[in-house]
A and B are shown apart, each in its own frame.
Chain A
Amino acid sequence: AQTVTQSQPEMSVQEAETVTLSCTYDTSESDYYLFWYKQPPSRQMILVIRQEAYKQQNATENRFSVNFQKAAKSFSLKISDSQLGDAAMYFCAYRSVWGNKLVFGAGTILRVKS
């Protein structure tokens, strides 16, 4: 079974600075999808960024980018120019191409200081 590990329970970043959230995963599959979701205080889950494992190029979405290291099974999220609205719980998630289930990590609470 696949597992997702987020080793940072909490992180803090100063407004306008850059922060990186870590995620590692374990799988025997060669093709899969990886996601970062944001859950703000409203608790609405929001997709931040998605990476297909077959793509070597790291995904980027505006201020959000990932560092996908397939061999190391690592998938970190970099948030540049952090804003107060980025404060939330962030979940890393894995999905096989052969199934629909998402496997979530434990989450990282990100605090943004003004």
Chain B
Amino acid sequence: GAVVSQHPSWVICKSGTSVKIECRSLDFQATTMFWYRQFPKQSLMLMATSNEGSKATYEQGVEKDKFLINHASLTLSTLTVTSAHPEDSSFYICSANLAGVSYNEQFFGPGTRLTVL
């Protein structure tokens, strides 16, 4: 099956620093990738939709200058949390669309746990 990886799986950083999270589709090309944020025991909240070669589309209430998304190739999207603060601590999940099938299934990465001290 289609595999999506995320790196790192967990990261701890100091307040005020920036952190980059990578999302890769390992065995397929993904024209569209998604970034979610999840708090403990809560649902996934879509942050943005990332299309290869174009600017990401952010959901209402998500600061685009805070959460920079780059989708430079058909297999890689990155999320950079700029000037991170403790309230940015969360679990970040990416997913990628497997195009070419009727239902365009989304495949999810294993997630990245971000802790900002």
Contacts and interface: CB of A to CB of B under 8 A. Distances in A.
A43 B108 CA distance: 10
Main secondary structure of the interface of B (DSSP, over half): strand
A112 to B, nearest CB: 17
B58 to A, nearest CB: 12
Contacts of B111: 43-44
Interface stretch (A15-23, A60-68, A103-111): A103-111
B32 A100 contact: yes
Nearest to B38: A43
Interface residues of B, number: 20
B72 interface: no
Contacts of A104: 43-44
B103 A52 contact: yes
Interface residues of A, number: 19
Nearest to B99: A100
Interface string B82-97: 0000000001010101
Nearest to B103: A33
Top 9 nearest A-B pairs (CB, nearest first) are A45-B108, A104-B43, A44-B110, A43-B111, A106-B43, A107-B43, A104-B44, A100-B32, A33-B103
Interface of B: 32, 34, 38, 41-44, 46, 49, 91, 93, 95, 97, 103-106, 108, 110-111
